[in-house]
Structure 1
């Protein structure tokens, strides 16, 4: 076995090193030579920017979206077409920029994870996937100019290291307005900037901003007795982009990214209904190698808070609290 040989080499080096005399050049050279060989072997197993570690699994993404993402027919369709089109283009004109919007627990982070897992062998643990959280990485408004410079250098350095890097910005609704504009040049239609091409990178923004307009559309369809699957992108996209652009509490407030049409898709995530929460609970049981139990899934779903209060149509927290709720019942 390769791994067993590596261990043998390692212990061999340890043995040799322990018995090397400082004035024995032959033995020393032997130890150094074996050490260099072992270093090369370990380097082989380290993640690097190549097709061995970065390879798009189109079928895998389709299966994940169909079987694991519940109640999001619009988002599923957009993500599938956008990512497939981008990853199958050997010479994209600009980076792929997706802005995912909706209330908490509707699947925004989940979809980001799906995309990463079907592009990078190491998924979200890949050294080429970078996650920024507003309150953690950019907490102080007084330091916004420092953050701008740091963000630019971080993106430039990582794309220089690997053109097919992915950047996920969580909590965009909590980001200081103006900060995200600092990376505008990297999202534009440039061949190269200072010798670096950003065209194969992926940028994903996650935000609760615009969630109200999405919910209102879903409520309007429900009140009219129309099926939620009838809701199309055209029914929410314009109102969503305007809501985000004009929301002073949004990190995309009056941003040039929207003004210059650099966001490829505004992806709406609809509020989840009772049946979707049940599906989430059953899926979580299956993920834990438990026998799916409809009675438990039903109990978990019934424990959540829904709105409007009288009709209890949409879950306030979506599927976000399913894991902790399930821990209580299982």
Structure 2
């Protein structure tokens, strides 16, 4: 019987024994249900009474537990396992996502200043370094300006634009080369400019203007003006002419090195120079020389390649495009053609920068007449000037008239007045 009692308690989920009060109440209920007759003998054995008493207790406890569960929802015990569902996992993920979505921003104002020891020491050095770099760049720019101002290239550009008619693009190209080269004093090789053009377009006049200007800014001793037919006539030995030219250039560059200036050598009538003279010039243009021979400006003036220039101008005069970019590309093509054709005659022309002067139109010839008549003291009558300009020979192409001899006959026409 004790075994049955233990099994009944374990099957009912009982955790403790029944207290004395509950036993008393159950005995009273049992007495009420069982009629008491002392005179009659007991119909049940003690074992059966014990089993009935245990059963009544179990039924009473079961009714009490059911009534308590219906009154209040049962809470899961701590030692009972939880049932896993995917809904709980989804709810947990939503909670974690809500927690992660929260962004905390720092306060706008600092509550305390950093200590002196915690401040970076690199900040003063960075400021000092920036100031030094600024001063170096400013000093370099000032040095470039000083070199350009020393040679007065702005005044030269105004003079050439005023006195050389119809060659604005050629003058701009020439000034661009001079400005880039004369902005510094130290160079890796000399600057050699070769000005080419037909007869009467202003090559010799351009050479005279360059010589006059640089003599006024750097001195007569640092400018060389060399005429091939005058300084080296056909009767003179070309080897001797080459030696004299080399010695003269060496004397000038030595004096220029002492004065820290760049000399200028203007070589007119370059088309009449013979091969020994051209060879001497080619040696002077090489980069493997002493430092004073690298800081020199050579300007060669000649009519070599004038056939290519005339052909190129006449072929492209009928083009409908008149933009500056179009003519700039046309001039570059013309200079490349001149350089390639001249390089076949002598290697010197492959080492120079070509500046091409184009044909003059009739309007430019009129300007030449006005300038010459004003210089000679004549009153410039426009009707008379047009008549004189019409007496010259012209090429006709693309609705334009180009002078065959430029302004070369203008002086003779004015002298006859």
TM-score normalised over the length of structure 1: 0.70
- With a CA cutoff of 8 Å and minimum separation of 6, indicate the structure with the bigger relative contact order: 1
- Going from structure 1 to structure 2, the CA distance change for 1:79 and 1:287 (only over 3 Å counts) comes to farther
User: How many equivalent residue pairs?
Assistant: 263
Quick one: distance in 1 between partners of 2:403 and 2:390?
Answer: 10
Quick one: distance in 2 between partners of 1:59 and 1:292?
Answer: 30
Q: Which runs of 5+ in 1 are unaligned?
A: 1-50, 247-252
Quick one: distance in 2 between partners of 1:318 and 1:228?
Answer: 24
1:226-245 alignment, distance < 5 Å: 226-227=321-322, 230-232=326-328, 233-245=331-343
Q: Which runs of 5+ in 2 are unaligned?
A: 1-145
Secondary structure of 2:416's match? helix
Match of 1:152 among 246, 250, 261: 246
Structure having the higher helix fraction is: 2
- Going from structure 1 to structure 2, the CA distance change for 1:116 and 1:131 (only over 3 Å counts) comes to closer
- Kept after mapping to 2: 8 A contact 1:222/1:228: no
- Going from structure 1 to structure 2, the CA distance change for 1:325 and 1:126 (only over 3 Å counts) comes to farther
Q: CA deviation at 1:289?
A: 5.8
Runs of 4+ in 1 over 4 A off after TM superposition: 225-230, 288-291
Quick one: distance in 2 between partners of 1:126 and 1:149?
Answer: 22
Structure 2 residue 107 is the aligned partner of structure 1 residue 107 = no
Query: 2:91 — aligned with what?
Result: none
Quick one: distance in 1 between partners of 2:212 and 2:268?
Answer: 17
- Kept after mapping to 1: 8 A contact 2:198/2:359: yes
Query: 1:320 — aligned with what?
Result: 408
Q: CA deviation at 1:64?
A: 1.8
Two-structure CA RMSD over aligned residues (Å): 3.0
Query: 1:274 — aligned with what?
Result: 362
1:42-61 alignment, distance < 5 Å: 55-61=150-156
- Going from structure 1 to structure 2, the CA distance change for 1:113 and 1:140 (only over 3 Å counts) comes to closer
Query: 2:294 — aligned with what?
Result: 199
Secondary structure of 1:209's match? coil
1:114-129 alignment, distance < 5 Å: 114-121=209-216, 126-129=220-223
- Kept after mapping to 1: 8 A contact 2:152/2:217: no
Secondary structure of 1:307's match? strand
- Kept after mapping to 2: 8 A contact 1:241/1:266: yes
Q: CA deviation at 1:226?
A: 4.9
- Going from structure 1 to structure 2, the CA distance change for 1:62 and 1:312 (only over 3 Å counts) comes to closer
Match of 1:95 among 158, 181, 190: 190
Quick one: distance in 2 between partners of 1:291 and 1:56?
Answer: 36
Match of 1:165 among 263, 272, 282: 263
Quick one: distance in 2 between partners of 1:278 and 1:294?
Answer: 9
Query: 2:105 — aligned with what?
Result: none
- Kept after mapping to 2: 8 A contact 1:221/1:227: no
Match of 1:187 among 262, 272, 285: 285
Secondary structure of 2:165's match? coil
- Kept after mapping to 2: 8 A contact 1:221/1:228: no
- Going from structure 1 to structure 2, the CA distance change for 1:178 and 1:145 (only over 3 Å counts) comes to closer
Q: CA deviation at 1:122?
A: 7.6
Cα deviation 1:110-136 (Å, max 9, x = unaligned) = 22233233332189x934332222222
TM-score normalised over the length of structure 2: 0.57
- Going from structure 1 to structure 2, the CA distance change for 1:92 and 1:189 (only over 3 Å counts) comes to same
Quick one: distance in 2 between partners of 1:206 and 1:228?
Answer: 28
State which structure, 1 or 2, has the greater radius of gyration over its C-alpha atoms: 2
- Kept after mapping to 2: 8 A contact 1:221/1:231: no
Q: CA deviation at 1:205?
A: 0.8
Q: CA deviation at 1:312?
A: 7.8
Q: CA deviation at 1:167?
A: 1.7
